[in-house]
Amino acid sequence: MAEDLSPSAGKIRVKITCPLSVVADMEADRVLIPALGGDFLVMPQKAPQFFLMREGKVVIQRQDMADKVYWVSKGVCEVRRDICAVMAWAEEKTGVSLDKIRSELERGEKLLTTLPAGKAAWAIQNRLDFYRLILKEITS
């Protein structure tokens, strides 16, 4: 049986997926997305959209809780009526430690030296850029 992804009335279902896992899957009142052309606010009943994202922060807003903030890499976002699907490398802002960032950077840089130029190297470089952005944010 298929899972029902329909959100409650007046809400949006937000799903942030990175290549390794689903980072977030929840209902929200609205979502702020770092679109390539500028920040984009997704609200319920939004017309279908598909756009490129720049590195930055996705902010998930609900009236009954504090905003949830996720750092995201370059990626894509698809909006379909009451569903906002983000596909990018992502980390919840409150769950990131300096040790984890440094470990990911070290691992990625080692891996990058073993790969020939191409799609795999581009994907690793994108992930490295993402973690460098987070490192810059948390150390400044």
pLDDT along the chain (140 residues), means of 10: 65 91 94 95 89 95 94 93 93 87 90 78 84 87
CA distance 130 to 44: 29
Our count of domains for the chain comes to 2
In the listed set 60, 76, 93, which residue is the last one of a domain according to the structure? 93
Name residue, tokens 């430690």: 97
* Residue type at 65 in one-letter notation: M
* Residue 52 within any structural domain of the chain: yes
Question: Do 43 and 102 fall into the same domain?
Answer: no
CA distance 118 to 87: 20
Pairing of strands 12-18, 83-87: parallel
CA distance 56 to 136: 12
Query: Whole domain around residue 109: which residue ranges?
Result: 96-139
* Residue 127 within any structural domain of the chain: yes
The predicted model scores a pTM of: 0.83
Name residue, tokens 């942030």: 16
Question: Do 101 and 78 fall into the same domain?
Answer: no
CA distance 127 to 6: 31
In the listed set 93, 115, 131, which residue is the last one of a domain according to the structure? 93
Question: Do 103 and 65 fall into the same domain?
Answer: no
Q: Count Cβ neighbours within 10 Å for each residue of 4-21 and write b for 16 or more, e otherwise.
A: eeebeeebbbbbbbbeee
N-terminal to C-terminal alpha carbon distance within the chain: 48
Q: CA 33, 37, 42, 45 torsion: positive or negative? A: negative
Question: Do 16 and 59 fall into the same domain?
Answer: yes
CA distance 56 to 35: 9
